[in-house]
Amino acid sequence: MPKKAMTPEEIQAMKNRILDHALELLGQKGFDGLTMRGVARSMGVSSGTLYVYYENRDELYLAVLTKGFERLHENCRAALEGVAAPMDRLKALATAYLDFGMQDSHFYNLMFTWHVPKFQDYFGTPMEAAASRELEVSQEFYNFALQPIREIMEVAGVPASESRARSHMVLFWSLLHGYIAGLNNTLLSYMHEDPLSLRETVLQNLFRHIEREMAESSTK
């Protein structure tokens, strides 16, 4: 009797299971330790099963990255729901970003910290389309942050400047990333007895700086 075809839901569930095991292997062994055979072994299936869903290791890796960014953006969208004021939206984004970085540390480290292949490494290769998709998805958080920053600048009377808005966005991301990276790699524990307790201080100082910068820029 022929094997019953999988439903779209079953196919997606299998893909998600593969991605979960690939992420776990990446966390244990890094990119160089990611192999189709290793993922299949951890799942208890044949390597051939993985090739039904992913062409090779690079496509699997890029799919893991894309899933991580999609999860981050889902968290951000949920955090922004019902929040109207630009500064409140930026604060909601900062909180969602910190939550993701601390709770999904394997995803976060892969997306932002570890030395792993990036889009440019796939340019001109058969994986360029998959890498382009990952790059497109990865930019969504920056767009999430840019819009309220532009609106905050407008409310503060800061002369319109896309370059200045992007500078504020880079500062916003850099401070959040530095704190999360320091937590995840434990370096902050060598500098402070309780680095987790600094979370609210980090956020407060970030937004004080943004407010001060906006006030100073509006007078120039």
Q: What angle do CA 6, 12, 17 make, to 5 degrees?
A: 110
pLDDT at residue 214, rounded to an integer: 80
Percent of the chain with pLDDT over 70: 97
- Spacing of C-alpha 112 from chain mean position: 7
pLDDT tens per residue across span 32-64: 999 999 999 999 999 999 999 999 999 999 999
Please report, to the nearest 10 degrees, the dihedral formed by the alpha carbons of residues 85, 91, 96, 98 taken in order.
Answer: 170
pLDDT at residue 50, rounded to an integer: 94
- Spacing of C-alpha 3 from chain mean position: 38
Percent of the chain with pLDDT over 90: 76
- Decide: 117 and 34 in contact? Cβ < 8 Å: no
The pLDDT mean for the chain works out to: 91
Average pLDDT over residues 170-181: 94
Q: Tokens standing for 98?
A: 């910190």
Residue matched to tokens 């700086």: 209
Average pLDDT over residues 125-129: 93
Q: Is the pLDDT confidence value at 18 over 90?
A: yes
- Taking the C-alpha atoms of residue 92 and residue 94, their distance in angstroms, rounded to an integer, is 5
- Taking the C-alpha atoms of residue 199 and residue 56, their distance in angstroms, rounded to an integer, is 40
pLDDT at residue 220, rounded to an integer: 60
pLDDT at residue 3, rounded to an integer: 67
pLDDT at residue 156, rounded to an integer: 85
Which residue in 79, 78, 72 sits closest to 102, CA to CA? 72
pLDDT tens per residue across span 70-80: 999 999 999 99
- Decide: 38 and 107 in contact? Cβ < 8 Å: no
Q: Is the pLDDT confidence value at 2 over 60?
A: no
Number of residues assigned to the chain: 220
pLDDT at residue 115, rounded to an integer: 87
Q: Is the pLDDT confidence value at 67 over 80?
A: yes
Average pLDDT over residues 151-160: 87
Name 24's Cβ contacts closer than 8 Å, sequence gap at least 6. 42, 106
pLDDT at residue 6, rounded to an integer: 80
- β strands within the chain, DSSP E: none
In order of their start, the domains of the chain are 1-54 (1.10.10.60), 68-218 (1.10.357.10)
pLDDT band at 161 (very low <50, low <70, confident <90, very high): confident
Q: Is the pLDDT confidence value at 81 over 60?
A: yes
